[in-house]
Amino acid sequence: MDFPTLTLSILIGTVGGFLGGLFGIGGGVVIIPLLTMAQGSNPHLYQAASLVAALLVSAGSIPQHIRAQAIRWEFAVRTIPFSIATVGVGIAIGIYLPSTQWLEWIFAAFLICVAISEITRRLQNNSANSNSPVLAERLGWGPASIIGSVMGTLSGLLGIGGGVIAMPLMRVVNHFDIRTTIATSAFLVLPTVIVAVILKYSTLSSVKTPAGDPVTLSSALWLAAALAPGAFVGANIGASLVHKLPMRKLSFAFGLLCAILAIRMSGIVTFK
C-alpha cells in the first residue's frame, strides 16, 4: 500500500468511525462507498476490511454510551442470539450472487430505503404536535427476533456492522428515542460484527475481485489495519457528541448522506 493510499484509507476510517459513533452504526455504510469512490469497485475486499473497522467503531463507542446509561440491556441480550445466528446466511447469499455488481446495487437500494425512512421521520417529527403521547418501549422477544434476524442477515450480505439496519428498525418497532436507539445499536454491532468478521475472512478464498483475481487475506488485513486507528478514535469522538448535540438535525443529515452515497453506489452518478 503506497503512502497516498494509506493516508486516504486512514482518513476514510476516521470519517467512517466518527459518523459510526455519532449514529450508532458500524461505519461500513460510509466506509465502503468512500473506498469505492477512492479506489474503484472491489466490494468483497472492502466488506472484509470495513467489518474489522466496524469492530473498532463499536468498541470505541460503547464506553461513552455506558457512562450515559443509554443502552437497553434487556432488549440487547434478547436480540444478539438472532443477529449472530443469521450473519452466516447473509454471507452465503453474497457468495452465490451472480455478480459482485449486485452487491453494490443491493447496497444502493438499501441506502435509499434508510434515507427515505430517516428524512420522512424527521419531517413528521417537525410537523407533529409537541403534546403527542410517547409510545411505550417494546423490549420483548418478538421485536428482538425481527430486528436481530434482519440485522444479522443484511450485515453478512452487505459487509456492514448492522447498526444502520437496526437503528431505523428500533425507532419503528421498539419506540426508542433517538439517543437510546443509537446507544443500543452501537452495542448490538459488537457481537454481530465479531461473528461476521470470522465468517467473512474464512470465505475470502471463495470470492474474487471484479477483475477476476482472488481476494487475498493479506490485502484485506492491510486495508483493515489502515482503517482501524481512525475508526476507533473517530468513533470515540462521535459517540461523545451523541448525548450533547440536537439529534433531529443530525439524523436528518444522516438521511441525506445515505441518499448521496446510494446514488454513487448505484452507478447513476460517478465522482472522479
Return the pLDDT at 148. 93
- Mean pLDDT, residues 40-63 taken together: 91
Q: pLDDT band for position 237 (50/70/90)?
A: very high
Distance CA 110, CA 112 (A): 5
pTM: 0.79
Sequence-ordered alpha helix ranges (H) in the chain: 3-23, 28-39, 43-67, 73-95, 101-127, 141-158, 163-173, 178-202, 217-242, 247-266
161 contacts 192 by C-beta, under 8 angstroms: yes
Q: pLDDT band for position 146 (50/70/90)?
A: very high
* pLDDT over 50 (residue 271): no
Phi, psi of 214 (to 5 degrees): -70, 145
* pLDDT over 80 (residue 63): yes
Return the pLDDT at 272. 44
pLDDT above 70 as % of the chain: 89
**Vertex 247: Cα angle to 256 and 57 (nearest 5):** 80
Distance CA 2, CA 73 (A): 43
Distance CA 165, CA 150 (A): 8
Cα 64 to the chain's mean position, in Å? 18
Average pLDDT, the chain: 84
Comparing CA positions, the residue from 254, 265, 3 lying closest to residue 116 is: 254
- Mean pLDDT, residues 207-224 taken together: 89
Handedness of CA 81, 82, 83, 89 (dihedral sign): positive
- State whether residue 95 is helix, strand or coil: helix
Query: Which of the residue ranges 1-5, 21-25, 58-62, 133-137 has the most confident prediction, judged by mean pLDDT?
Result: 58-62
Distances (CA, A) of 242 to 19, 72, 84, 247: 10, 16, 26, 7
Return the pLDDT at 175. 85
| Domain residue ranges in the chain | 3-266
Q: pLDDT band for position 79 (50/70/90)?
A: very high
Phi, psi of 18 (to 5 degrees): -60, -50
Query: Which of the residue ranges 51-60, 90-99, 115-124, 262-271 has the most confident prediction, judged by mean pLDDT?
Result: 51-60
Burial 126-136 (b: 16+ CB within 10 A, else e): eeeeeeeeeee
Return the pLDDT at 248. 74
Between 93-107, 132-146, 191-205, the lowest mean confidence (pLDDT) is in: 93-107
Q: Which residues contact 222 (CB under 8 A, 6 or more apart)?
A: 1
Comparing CA positions, the residue from 224, 272, 210, 226 lying closest to residue 4 is: 226
* pLDDT over 60 (residue 130): no
Identify the residue with better confidence: 100 or 219: 219
